[in-house]
């Protein structure tokens, strides 16, 4: 179905978790200066694993993550889950995109091929971030700015 469109954005609480012990994640988050200058290594992220396998969400990409995990916080605070469940901090809130002419491996490339920048359906992630100061939920919202190229007119 997604191949019928020039640009598709899939975003929200995708509920994928970090496959790593909670203590390790909290120590990593605590010892990291946010936002990071380079993309976070998400080799233990369940979403990255399935994107790399191509088993689901085939062809979707994600901008580089340079912000701390967006889940699970005690509502009204900057504190990770202190309930008896002790959920592991994770990147559950994501923005994925798929352009008709999107070259594979977007999240691993530093620069884009100039030939793709002006083709219909190309998507470039300009900014991808979270808003840690918003504390009304157990999630921190994510947002992005994207540049797309689409042709004018109506498909027939």
Burial class (CB in 10 A: 0-12, 13-18, 19+), 23: exposed
β-strand partners of 129:
143
Q: For residue 146, which of 17, 11, 43 has the smallest C-alpha distance? A: 11
Show the tokens assigned to 57: 């969400």
CATH of the domain at 72: 3.60.10.10
Look up the domain containing 55 and give its range.
7-103+117-149
Number of domains making up the chain: 1
Enter the DSSP assignment of 90. Answer: B
pLDDT tens for residues 65-121? 999 999 999 999 999 999 999 999 999 999 999 998 765 555 444 344 444 455 667
Tell me the per-residue pLDDT of 9-44, one tens digit each, with 9 for 90 and over: 999 999 999 999 999 999 999 999 999 999 999 999
Does residue 154 form part of some domain? Answer: no
């Amino acid at each position: 179905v997604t191949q019928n469109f020039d640009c598709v954005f899939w975003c929200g609480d995708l509920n994928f978790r970090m496959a790593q012990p909670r203590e390790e994640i909290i120590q990593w988050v605590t010892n990291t200066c946010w936002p990071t200058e380079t993309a976070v290594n998400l080799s233990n992220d369940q979403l990255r694993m399935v994107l790399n396998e191509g088993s689901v969400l085939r062809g979707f990409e994600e901008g580089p993550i340079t912000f701390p995990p967006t889940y699970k916080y005690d509502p009204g605070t900057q504190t990770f889950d202190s309930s008896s469940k002790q959920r592991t901090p994770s990147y559950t809130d994501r923005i994925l995109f798929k352009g008709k002419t999107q070259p594979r491996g977007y999240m691993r490339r530093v620069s884009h091929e100039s030939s793709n920048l002006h083709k219909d359906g190309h998507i470039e992630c300009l900014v991808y971030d979270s808003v840690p100061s918003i504390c009304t939920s157990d999630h921190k919202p994510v947002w992005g700015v994207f540049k797309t190229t689409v042709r004018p007119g109506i498909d027939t």
